[in-house]
Amino acid sequence: MIEAKNLTKKFGKQVVFQNVNFKIEDGEFVSIVGRNGAGKTTLVKILMVLEKKTSGDIIMDHKSRIGYVPQFRNIDLDYPLNIEQFMRLNLKFTLNPQKRKQDTATVDRILQQTNLTQLRDRPLGLASGGEKQKAYLAQALVNEPQVLILDESTASLDVDVKIQLMDLVQELNQKHGLTVLFITHDSELTKKYTKRALLFENKTVKSIGIDEIAEDMVE
């Protein structure tokens, strides 16, 4: 579970959000919506301990590992790593034979889960946009996180590719109980895949049902 209690974040005198309260239960698939600059990314940074809160509390199991999938990024055609090698960047280097064997088994399993087994040797720079995003997802899953954050991960992708990626995440959520936080400006995907959303608006956050989401809330 992730719980915010009177959470406030300021940069100097600028208030990003204040006295925010919410709960996200284990295994939930929640959208995080709101206009640009409303504080969505700042919250993610606080969750990932990349940014300090100003006051209040954010409560989560410190043993909970977080997987992070960024927005689509162009990668140079001559990028030196293939998809499997790119995934392994999230693994700690070890000379322990047993741990290396375990890591390889984990990589194989995640390649299968993300439908990348046949593409494991493909240079990442030559992969399609959808394949690159699946590789980012696979890399985030290597450390077997309990929480997965999709940070506008479907932006700039074709509709069919968006659906493929989100179907994969939905399967992980439903079959393995993975908690998913989906930061998005896409109201259609929000309504298709999640049951509720945290709306960042007017320096606060409120939980709303997906039927309450309007286009102007996510622009």
Q: What are the pLDDT digits (tens) for 115-134?
A: 999 999 999 999 988 899 99
Distance CA 154, CA 184 (A): 8
Query: According to the model, what pLDDT value does residue 37 have?
Result: 83
Residue with tokens 């999640």: 194
Query: Domain coordinates of the chain in residue numbers?
Result: 1-10+37-60
pLDDT digits (tens, 9 = 90+) for 62-117: 567 899 998 877 788 888 999 999 999 998 888 888 999 999 999 999 999 999 99
Closest CA to 44 of 164, 155, 154, 200: 200
Kindly indicate the confidence band of residue 157, based on its pLDDT and cuts at 50, 70 and 90.
confident
Contact in structure between 50 and 95 (CB atoms under 8 Å): no
Per-residue pLDDT at 11: 92
Pairing of strands 29-34, 55-59: unpaired
Confidence at residue 117, expressed as pLDDT on a 0 to 100 scale: 94
What pLDDT, on the 0 to 100 scale, is given for residue 217? 55
The three-state secondary structure class of 133 is: helix
Please enumerate in sequence order all residues whose Cβ is within 8 A of that of 147, keeping only pairs 6 or more positions apart, or say none.
2, 47, 60, 64, 65, 66, 67, 178, 179, 180, 181
pTM to 2 decimals? Answer: 0.88
